[in-house]
Amino acid sequence: MIHLDKLTKRFKQVTAVEGVSVRVAPGEIYGFLGPNGAGKTTTIKMLAGIMRPTSGHIFIDGLELEKNPLEVKARVGFIPDRPFLYDKLTGVEFLSFMANLYGLNSGGRDKRIRQFLELFELAEWGGELVGSYSHGMKQRLIMSAALLHQPRVFIVDEPLVGLDPKGARLIKRIFNELRRDGLTVFMSTHTLGIAEELCDRIGIIQRGKLLAEGTVNDLKELAGQDDPRLESIFLHLTGGDGCSSEQTEFIHQ
C-alpha cells in the first residue's frame, strides 16, 4: 500500500532524510519513531505530497506520487503536526467545507458528517463554533475531516499529542476499527507506549537514516535486549543507553 524507495531530502548542506526505504502493507499501522530532528516530519511531508524529495520514489496504492499527484492525494487522509482549523465555523460547517473540497456529493456528505461526529463523540458540539472547542475536540474534528472521503491511507504526525486519557483511548479504538476495515496508517509519534500498543510494525529513524524496523519482538532481537519494553530497545538502538535528562524527557512526553 505504501512504498518509499530510497527517499532522500537535502536542504543545502543538510541531509534531513537519506535513503529511507519502507513498505507498509494494506491494513497495517506503521509507527515511525525517532528523536527530535531525526527526519520524521520531513518524511511525512514528502509522503503526503507537501514536500518534494531530492531523490527517491513514493508509491501509494500502486501509484507513484510524483507522476500521479491528484490521484494519490485523493486516496490519502493527512494530518500534520500543527493542523489549521477555521475557528469561526461550526463543527458541521467545517466538515461540510472539507467535504466540498473532497468533492463529496451532497446526499452522502451530510450522512457521513453525522456519522463521523458521532464516531468521534462530537455530535452534541456540531453546531458550536470550532473556536470554543477544547484541544482534544479539535484533534478529533480534524481527524474526522481527514477521513470523510474514505481514504485508503491515513498519514498522521503525532495523533495523540495533548489528548487526555479518555480522548486517547477513543482515538486508539477508532484506529483499530479502521485497521480492521483495511485502512493503512502511517504515524509518527514521540510516545513510545502508544507505538507499542497500536503499531503492527515500527521503524526507527535517526539523523535521517532508518536504523531498524519490524515488530517490537523483531527490534528486541535486533537490539539484543532482554528488556522487552520499547523504551529500552529504542534507547539501545539510538545509542541512548546512558540516558541523559534530555532523552528521559523525550521518552516520557
For every residue of 131-144, DSSP letters joined together read GGS-HHHHHHHHHH
pLDDT tens string 185-237: 999 987 777 888 889 999 999 999 998 899 888 887 877 766 667 777 777 77
234 close to 33: Cβ distance less than 8 angstroms: yes
Helix ranges (H only) for the chain are 40-47, 69-73, 91-102, 106-119, 135-147, 165-180, 192-198, 216-223, 230-237, 245-251
- Contact present, 109 and 99 (Cβ < 8 Å): yes
Which has more pLDDT, 66 or 253? 66
Sorted by where each starts, the structural domains of the chain and their CATH numbers stand as: 2-75+152-251 (3.40.50.300), 83-150 (no CATH)
16-58 pLDDT per residue, tens: 999 999 999 999 999 999 888 889 999 999 999 999 999 999 9
Range with the largest mean pLDDT of 147-156, 159-168, 241-250 = 147-156
Side-chain half-sphere exposure of 134, counting CA atoms within 13 A: 8
Tens of pLDDT, residues 155-188 = 998 877 777 888 888 888 988 888 888 999 999 9
Contact 139, 167 (CB under 8 A): yes
